[in-house]
Structure 1
């Protein structure tokens, strides 16, 4: 099935459920971000909220319950499972009985993290890309195909880039200055993600092979901190944590506590945290995971 057909199916699903609350779920955050484009083809009157707060919920309700100059009004709540419980509870009545001319769309990666009170109030659409689409990418990936395919399956923006342009065959090694220079760009795009993942994979292999002793590890950390003075470290750590999850799953790491730690960085990306300490912990967790 062509990817365009997947979004056309979603458009038809949303059109049929105007006056309802729906949840679009997928394991791929970047795929879910394309839901806004589908909504944009349905109506000109829509609002988008990222990991909505209780103030966002109140703004959405005020918006939805005013008359529409278009056929429909829509409110999109991206990653609703990351909302506070106060925001979720405040929105339950509207979820259950939205205005007849409105459309409420939640997106989520972890549907089970939504309270049952939400799950019971929404109609569900599973947004996924067929496996044969990813299999067709393999011939365009001359280096570490299984690893990069894992990234494609976790990040549709990367998959779309590989389908269009392929992957440059280039062996890379982890070195702090070249690694963190990737994050100096204004937009951390698919090419940067692929290169950063390959570098992290090289570091993981060197940890696993025992090539990095305590002294070398300390040098890597010290050099990394020096390089991060030129970038937004906290924002880079969010991106790196996402890539580390892909890397660890690819390498068969099953320690749930490690994934919970990386997820805590991703969930708190809008909050302040100690970047240097977080970077140290990230490297330690990669090293320990590689040695198991």
Structure 2
């Protein structure tokens, strides 16, 4: 199915008076799918919750209060991104509303981790699971990146990214909070790691030591994503080590707070990537 077909299918499926769990590969893809739904709504009839950390009870109470009053138009729409970040207290306060939303409301809980939602939440949602359409012309790693973040699709399709030199790359890490930098950093990191993995341990360790100075959670997540790919594709690593390091990467990607020992984490992942080649 094309993106447009998937988007239209979701729009036609939604009915007022019901709660849905929209399961997507990543949040950016969900935003693209729901953009038209939001655009056609009265601004006063739409509430979007997008947490920086957790969805707490205060956010849920705001939603409940929002739904207490009839819409200005026909339907009120509530969209909660990263619904798997809902706290136990917030989830308990939300159960009745999810089970019996007002007849004039549609509730959409968005997640890429369906089974991280509490069972009591999942049981009250109609599950809508969508996949990314297959984009022709992308290689395997490029598809992997789009599956991670749909915002990467256009720059990757247009090849609008650069493979940075090592010096440029290390400077760019300090600006990683700027989203436009990410494809450059990701592609360059993969390129550099593939080069350094074929060098002697001392040279490789020196490169790792430069990365380990960067106490930046966003960059650590990028490292985890690229390392996940390289570990998955590394046929020389035994399955037990692959599982070990993939679990560490997943823990970093799921983490809601930046409470890592950065230096130790970088060394663990990047030296582990060499496997027995130490």
Q: Decide whether the 8 Å contact of 1:204 with 1:286 is kept in 2.
A: no
1:188 matched to 2:182? The reply is: no
**How big is the shift at 1:39?**
3.4
1:68-113 per-residue CA deviation (whole Å, 9 max, x = no partner) reads: 2232222211121232223222211111011111111111112122
What residue is the counterpart of 2:153 in the other structure? 159
Taking the aligned partners of 1:103 and 1:194, their CA distance within structure 2 comes to: 39
1:92 matched to 2:108? The reply is: no
1:80 matched to 2:70? The reply is: no
- State the superposition RMSD in angstroms: 3.0
What residue is the counterpart of 2:71 in the other structure? 68
What residue is the counterpart of 1:178 in the other structure? 168
Change (3 A) 1:104 1:204: same
Q: Please give the TM-score of this superposition, normalised by the length of structure 2.
A: 0.81
How many positions carry a matched residue from both structures? 268
Taking the aligned partners of 1:283 and 1:26, their CA distance within structure 2 comes to: 29
Change (3 A) 1:171 1:102: closer
Listed as ranges, the gaps of 5+ residues in structure 2 are none
What residue is the counterpart of 2:17 in the other structure? 19
**How big is the shift at 1:195?**
4.8
Taking the aligned partners of 1:265 and 1:96, their CA distance within structure 2 comes to: 33
What residue is the counterpart of 1:263 in the other structure? 250
Please state whether the residue corresponding to 2:90 is helix, strand or coil: helix
Taking the aligned partners of 2:233 and 2:4, their CA distance within structure 1 comes to: 28
Please state whether the residue corresponding to 1:69 is helix, strand or coil: coil
What residue is the counterpart of 2:39 in the other structure? 41
What residue is the counterpart of 1:5 in the other structure? 5
Taking the aligned partners of 1:97 and 1:291, their CA distance within structure 2 comes to: 58
What residue is the counterpart of 2:144 in the other structure? 150
Instruction: Looking at secondary structure, tell me which structure has more helix per residue.
Output: 1
1:22-44 per-residue CA deviation (whole Å, 9 max, x = no partner) reads: 01112233212324423312422
1:110-166 per-residue CA deviation (whole Å, 9 max, x = no partner) reads: 2122233222211122222333xx2x224xxxxxx3222322333322223333x23
**How big is the shift at 1:271?**
4.0
